[in-house]
Chains A and B, each alone.
Chain A
Amino acid sequence: MTVATAPVPEKPEVPELPTTRPASAPSAPRVAPTRSRLRAVDVLRVGSLGLRTRRLRTALSTLGVAIGIAAMVGVLGLSASSQEDLNAKIRELGTNLLEVQAGQGFGRGSGELPDTAVGMVSRIGPVTAVSSLTTVDATVRRTDAISEGITGGISVFAADEGLLDTLHARLLDGRWLDAATSAYPAVVLGTTAATKLGIVDVADGIRVYIGGQWFAVIGIIDHVTAAEGLDRAAIIGITAAETFIVGDTLAPETIYVRTEDDEVDAVRSVLGATVNPATPEEVEVSRPSDALAAQEAASDAFTALFLGLGAVALLVGGIGIANVMVIAVIERRTEIGLRRALGATRAHVRRQFLTEAVLLAGAGGLVGVLLGSAVTAVYARSQHWQVVIPPVAIGGGLVAAIVIGGLAGIYPAGRAARLPPTEALRSN
């Protein structure tokens, strides 16, 4: 049979909307109708209908993606926050700080540095500050009535007057050792040590009992990033240590060296020979900031692992959405039939269910980003870290969710689109 196009298009192709119902239906032959059309904003409306009418299911199926995205955002946020914290520590520490110690262990000498070391190092050109720190074999007690065995884990160190500046340490209260107090029984406590001894500030006449001698507490220092051991330390002057406790000269144990920023490597290469010209190989030189940098690298490895776990959760969430969409297509068979009868094309039906899947996953992504950010904020605060949530985690999380939703929606949407209208409209 030939296809005869209807003649005489007396009516516009798309009839105007009825304003008043005409007495009779349009009578002229109509030409082939123009294509069905679904506006973009209507695609959104139609695509969100299922979500609005089935709220519990929407919430539950969104959860899977939300957890995946939350895990990923949380991991990225925590890693960024902890890195920011490490970076802050490194900045505080300065990358120009070097630590010199006598080599320890078998065949590595006496474990002592020569007495002359500090003086020698200070003569290296680019060195801006040098200080030494030495363990003193003594206990710290609140009074002499306390048993000598109860040390509270506090160690005694002898330090020179420059240590505070060399380590960029800060005083919480009182004063640091100076030329005068270094030679007298005066002590500066680390923050933990002070707490242990029940000392909150440097009031007049507070004394502690160190190695059979009363020492006046003249200062308390804040947490020292460069030398964590100093938190649990009682620091006295070298002269005082030699005079009141050891009764002999003290050889420096650890030497801290500050250099000019761009000369760190040059100084490092000559330190061994400078400190101990006879046996330079017995000198160990380290850079405390390197340890933190290594810590940072190690946390990167963990980040990758947890990101992987988050991706698995996201995948499972995506499968959940595909599952829910397949069920929705089966349940809403008659709706699909009705829409086809109302003039929806296969593409319109496909678009509707694809949009629904993407909206589901997108909502999950949004919840996940919020959840992950909240977890990051709470945990980072509890660690006294600065809260850092990388924008790439937020953007990436949302994009990942939307992509997952799109992938999850392809099959169910295709199924809905391929459903023949007669089959869709068949009741029960």
Chain B
Amino acid sequence: MTSTPGTPGTPGTPGTTGTTGTSVTSVTTPALELVEVVKEYPGEPPIRALGGVSLRVDEGEMVGIVGPSGSGKSTLLHIIGTLDRPTSGMVRLAGVDTSDMSDRHLSAVRSQLLGFVFQQFFLLEGMSALDNVANGLLYRGVALAKRRAAAKEALERVGLGHRLQHVPNKLSGGERQRVAMARAIVNRPAIMLADEPTGNLDSKSGAAVMELINELHHDGHTIIIITHDRELAAALPRRVSMRDGHIESDEREPDHAAAGAR
């Protein structure tokens, strides 16, 4: 097996401005590939939220995208999550080019390749934890019984096997976020995208959630965490710093780099 064929932008891809250079050559398809992604919002003059971002995330990596508000990291999250389209540039998820996809196909990409974790959890009230997690498979046309079976397993993975029938109201913040994470992994996504996953949690619950994220990473999940919390980011094996719509730095811990490229 060779590396991804036919990608014009490949040479400069891993960490464009990266200090670590191109040392890590993956034998697998990268989970995420961004090439010269530009995002402009209409206005007078147009607002350039992303000014040509290239980024490569290999399978099994855990990356933190860090930056202050206004740095473009939320826009980047939306574009990686195919919730928004770039003005120009290419987005590839697990080898699938999403740049020219219709809205319907992008929905399919989200249902099959992506798992989202949000700061506000976004669990549906009036629905048990189990069914909230099962919703992660809802739009793949999986029958309810199978959805629930997979959801139970995912909840057990995040340590909530004893909370299956609890509604979100009856769960603590940390537990809710763990339910949301179970929902994000239940469809075995190529990438789990976490947007400020500890932002709404006290430090203790936040630490527990980060611990779980680490565990999922060691299970082999590819995880991208968007955060403004430099302290949180510092604990991650790879940190991409954003500023004014550009990648300012892309650093890896040497020992983690190997693990990330496993």
Contact = CB atoms under 8 A, between A and B. Distances in A.
Interface string B138-159: 1111111010011001100100
Interface stretch (A230-238, A277-285, A344-352): A344-352
A239 to B, nearest CB: 86
A343 B140 contact: yes
A336 to B, nearest CB: 11
Nearest to B141: A37
A427 B120 contact: yes
Contact of B139 (A5, A14, A348): A348
Interface string A100-135: 000000000000000000000000000000000000
A345 B104 contact: yes
Interface in B86-109: 89-90, 94-97, 99-101, 103-105, 107-109
B171 interface: no
A25 B59 contact: yes
B211 to A, nearest CB: 17
Interface in A386-428: 420-422, 425, 427
B188 interface: yes
Contact of A49 (B6, B124, B219): B124
Given A6-B96, A340-B83, A341-B81, A35 B108 contact: yes
A299 B139 CA distance: 54
B29 interface: yes
A179 interface: no
B96 A31 contact: yes
Contacts of A334: 120, 122
A420 B107 CA distance: 12
Contacts of B222: 25
Contacts, number: 176
Contacts of A23: 219-220
A425 B219 contact: no
A17 B146 CA distance: 8
B111 interface: yes
A169 B4 CA distance: 101
A88 B111 CA distance: 66
Taking residues whose C-beta sits less than 8 angstroms from the other chain, chain B's interface range is 35 or more
Contact of B112 (A33, A335, A344, A421): A33
Contacts of B139: 36-38, 339, 342-345, 348
A40 to B, nearest CB: 10
Q: Most B CB atoms within 10 A — which of A24, A31, A38, A337? A: A24
A147 interface: no
Given A17-B150, A427-B119, A29 B94 contact: yes
A32 interface: yes
B39 to A, nearest CB: 11
Dominant secondary structure of chain A at its interface with chain B: loop
A28 interface: yes
Q: Most B CB atoms within 10 A — which of A36, A345, A422? A: A36
A21 B157 contact: yes
A36 B122 contact: no
Contacts of A421: 78, 83-84
B66 interface: no
A27 B59 contact: yes
B97 A338 contact: no
Contact of B220 (A24, A35, A343): A24
Interface string A4-27: 111100000011011101111111
Contacts of A346: 103-104, 107
B28 interface: yes
Contacts of B103: 345-346
A38 B138 CA distance: 7
Contacts of B154: 18
B29 A27 contact: yes
A3 B122 contact: no
Contacts of A382: none
A25 B78 contact: no
Nearest to A345: B107
A42 B120 contact: no
B98 to A, nearest CB: 9
Interface of A: 1, 3-7, 14-15, 17-19, 21-39, 41-42, 45-46, 49, 52-53, 334-335, 337-348, 420-422, 425, 427
21 contacts: A3-B97, A4-B7, A6-B29, A6-B95, A15-B112, A18-B150, A22-B220, A25-B31, A30-B94, A33-B96, A33-B105, A37-B139, A49-B126, A338-B116, A339-B139, A340-B107, A341-B116, A342-B135, A343-B138, A348-B139, A420-B84
